[in-house]
A = this chain, B = another copy of it.
Amino acid sequence: MAKLVFSLCFLLFSGCCFAFSSREQPQQNECQIQKLNALKPDNRIESEGGLIETWNPNNKPFQCAGVALSRCTLNRNALRRPSYTNGPQEIYIQQGKGIFGMIYPGCPSTFEEPQQPQQRGQSSRPQDRHQKIYNFREGDLIAVPTGVAWWMYNNEDTPVVAVSIIDTNSLENQLDQMPRRFYLAGNQEQEFLKYQQEQGGHQSQKGKHQQEEENEGGSILSGFTLEFLEHAFSVDKQIAKNLQGENEGEDKGAIVTVKGGLSVIKPPTDEQQQRPQEEEEEEEDEKPQCKGKDKHCQRPRGSQSKSRRNGIDETICTMRLRHNIGQTSSPDIYNPQAGSVTTATSLDFPALSWLRLSAEFGSLRKNAMFVPHYNLNANSIIYALNGRALIQVVNCNGERVFDGELQEGRVLIVPQNFVVAARSQSDNFEYVSFKTNDTPMIGTLAGANSLLNALPEEVIQHTFNLKSQQARQIKNNNPFKFLVPPQESQKRAVA
């Protein structure tokens, strides 16, 4: 990480502009935190094809961090309906694989069905064209810019579990700090409306009892009159009614089940999965290969989708929108006895420079420790993927505001500059940490390359009121940089 940060700073500094933080500050007092908790989701919305769980964004730590967190589970053949949000989103795939699409306004529809000129006489289905479709798999980080609509689909048996944050304090959000999801279809409420009503202390126009009864018309198209929809889409009244959601039976919700499975043009993945994982890493979404098995397989045409990075083709329309940081990818920090850390910053994953967000995947061996450290320029939202760890967080007054276990599925928010250290309690503690800066920097307090290691010995001595010998020990005893192996193995290692 030290080197990472270093080269990163270097590049930024020699360029004409800094990657400056661009986030709204929280309201007054919201970061005067005396006590943090490891939080479970506190709301659960069942859908036909899965489940959305949310954390209350009005909780003080979430208000301080300025983000909204949710977790979405897609069962087999489940389609998450297209939606967009009032802030940039990062989605981490905790489990499963599938496909997703993002609709970037103004970009061409570069995925085209093959034409079938021969088969006449059978009212051939006209050729379909749509924007790029991406594969995703466990460990992927997906970047969704503000206002860009996306959908997601699970075509496997394993449920897809995706954890996502919306950065509502991003300056890209010109609305207030409440998270808002705009669904293109369906009659479900957007999942954060509940909290908005709590916060605002007012009732939505539809009234409480009405919500229970009708609960219709949650999508943005449902808000327009039939007349407008007929005119805009050049369709008849029945289709316009369907656009509004009239044909929906009961609460299907935001995730619907596609009976028989979704059939769209997409690059093949199954064959590619046979390739060694390491190769596949970077190239997976770049070079869709056509092996003739998939009936829809078609090499995307046109320069827009060739995805070479020659500075001309590198437009927003072909921007890479996923990046794998999971267990199998090549880590940035690695110590077989202690664990590994993989980061995705705007250098690895340029789309993040637009979101001004980044993420870090970490894995800690039992009893290994991530040394006390702080984020210089970001809040950190740590979500435990696997196992459990003992974590301590300290604020500017030296108060230990968190001292407890972070278990799988729970989240802990560490505000900027607060100091945090962790020790794994299980064989393999895995976490993903979302950071509110696209080039986050961390400062470690112990170990090689740490702040204390970079201070003159005499300054340590007099600052901590120590003997010279003790200062030297503090400065030099720990030879590890970020991750310290369990004390026993460490003693063996340095012995």
> Is A263 in contact with chain B by the CB < 8 A criterion?
yes
A-B contact pairs, 28 of them (CB 8 A): A14-B311, A14-B312, A25-B177, A26-B174, A30-B176, A31-B175, A31-B178, A32-B200, A35-B205, A64-B175, A82-B459, A105-B441, A105-B449, A128-B456, A174-B377, A183-B398, A184-B445, A218-B398, A221-B419, A223-B398, A224-B421, A228-B369, A231-B423, A231-B484, A231-B487, A232-B478, A239-B470, A245-B464
In the complex where A105-B443, A477-B233 touch, is A221 in contact with B459 (Cβ < 8 A)? no
Q: Are A477 and B235 in contact (CB under 8 A)?
A: yes
Q: Which residues of the partner chain B approach A392 to less than 8 Å between Cβ atoms?
A: 223-225, 228
Q: Are B473 and A239 in contact (CB under 8 A)?
A: yes
In the complex, residue of chain B having the shortest beta-carbon distance to the beta carbon of A376: B147
Cβ-defined partner of A397 (8 Å) among B26, B189, B472? B189
Q: Are A26 and B242 in contact (CB under 8 A)?
A: no
Q: Are B239 and A106 in contact (CB under 8 A)?
A: no
Q: Are B34 and A204 in contact (CB under 8 A)?
A: yes
Q: Which residues of the partner chain B approach A400 to less than 8 Å between Cβ atoms?
A: 223-225
Q: Which residues of the partner chain B approach A410 to less than 8 Å between Cβ atoms?
A: none
- Give residues of chain A (154-210) contacting chain B, Cβ–Cβ below 8 Å: 169, 171-178, 180-187, 189-190, 193, 196, 199-200, 202, 204-206
Report Cα–Cα, A148/B164, bound state, in Å. 30
Report Cα–Cα, A442/B235, bound state, in Å. 23
Q: Are B25 and A176 in contact (CB under 8 A)?
A: yes
Q: Are A232 and B130 in contact (CB under 8 A)?
A: no
Cβ-defined partner of A193 (8 Å) among B20, B34, B397, B478? B397
> Is A321 in contact with chain B by the CB < 8 A criterion?
no
In the complex where A184-B445, A372-B221 touch, is A421 in contact with B459 (Cβ < 8 A)? no
Ordered nearest first, which 9 A-B pairs have the shortest CB separation? A223-B394, A147-B376, A105-B443, A232-B446, A234-B477, A31-B175, A5-B106, A180-B396, A264-B456
CB distance from A481 to the nearest CB of B (A): 10
- Give residues of chain A (55-82) contacting chain B, Cβ–Cβ below 8 Å: 64-66, 79, 81-82
Given contacts A103-B443, A232-B445, 8 further A-B contacts (CB under 8 A): A25-B169, A64-B175, A147-B441, A174-B379, A175-B417, A220-B394, A232-B478, A239-B473
Per-residue CB contact flags for chain A residues 481-493 toward chain B (1 = under 8 Å, else 0) read 0001001001000
> Is A45 in contact with chain B by the CB < 8 A criterion?
no
CB distance from A329 to the nearest CB of B (A): 22
Q: Are A23 and B105 in contact (CB under 8 A)?
A: no
Report Cα–Cα, A456/B423, bound state, in Å. 47
- Stoichiometry (number of copies): 3
Per-residue CB contact flags for chain A residues 100-116 toward chain B (1 = under 8 Å, else 0) read 01011111010100000
User: How large, as a class, is the contact surface on chain A?
Assistant: 35 or more
Interface of A is mostly: loop
Report Cα–Cα, A111/B457, bound state, in Å. 12
Q: Which residues of the partner chain B approach A386 to less than 8 Å between Cβ atoms?
A: none
Q: Are A29 and B315 in contact (CB under 8 A)?
A: no
- Give residues of chain A (388-407) contacting chain B, Cβ–Cβ below 8 Å: 392, 394-400, 403
> Is A319 in contact with chain B by the CB < 8 A criterion?
yes
Q: Are A220 and B419 in contact (CB under 8 A)?
A: yes
Report Cα–Cα, A182/B420, bound state, in Å. 13
Q: Which residues of the partner chain B approach A1 to less than 8 Å between Cβ atoms?
A: 106
Q: Are A256 and B463 in contact (CB under 8 A)?
A: yes
> Is A265 in contact with chain B by the CB < 8 A criterion?
yes
Q: Are A182 and B396 in contact (CB under 8 A)?
A: yes
> Is A317 in contact with chain B by the CB < 8 A criterion?
yes
Which of A32, A175, A199 has the most chain B CB within a 10 Å cutoff? A175
Q: Are A222 and B398 in contact (CB under 8 A)?
A: yes
Q: Are A25 and B175 in contact (CB under 8 A)?
A: yes
Q: Are A109 and B454 in contact (CB under 8 A)?
A: yes
Per-residue CB contact flags for chain A residues 448-480 toward chain B (1 = under 8 Å, else 0) read 010111111111001111101010111011100
In the complex, residue of chain B having the shortest beta-carbon distance to the beta carbon of A8: B106
> Is A28 in contact with chain B by the CB < 8 A criterion?
yes
CB distance from A382 to the nearest CB of B (A): 16
Q: Are B264 and A199 in contact (CB under 8 A)?
A: no
In the complex, residue of chain B having the shortest beta-carbon distance to the beta carbon of A311: B14
Q: Are B399 and A205 in contact (CB under 8 A)?
A: yes
In the complex where A220-B419, A398-B217, A445-B221 touch, is A32 in contact with B176 (Cβ < 8 A)? yes
Q: Are B416 and A186 in contact (CB under 8 A)?
A: no
> Is A292 in contact with chain B by the CB < 8 A criterion?
no
> Is A86 in contact with chain B by the CB < 8 A criterion?
yes
Q: Are B445 and A397 in contact (CB under 8 A)?
A: no
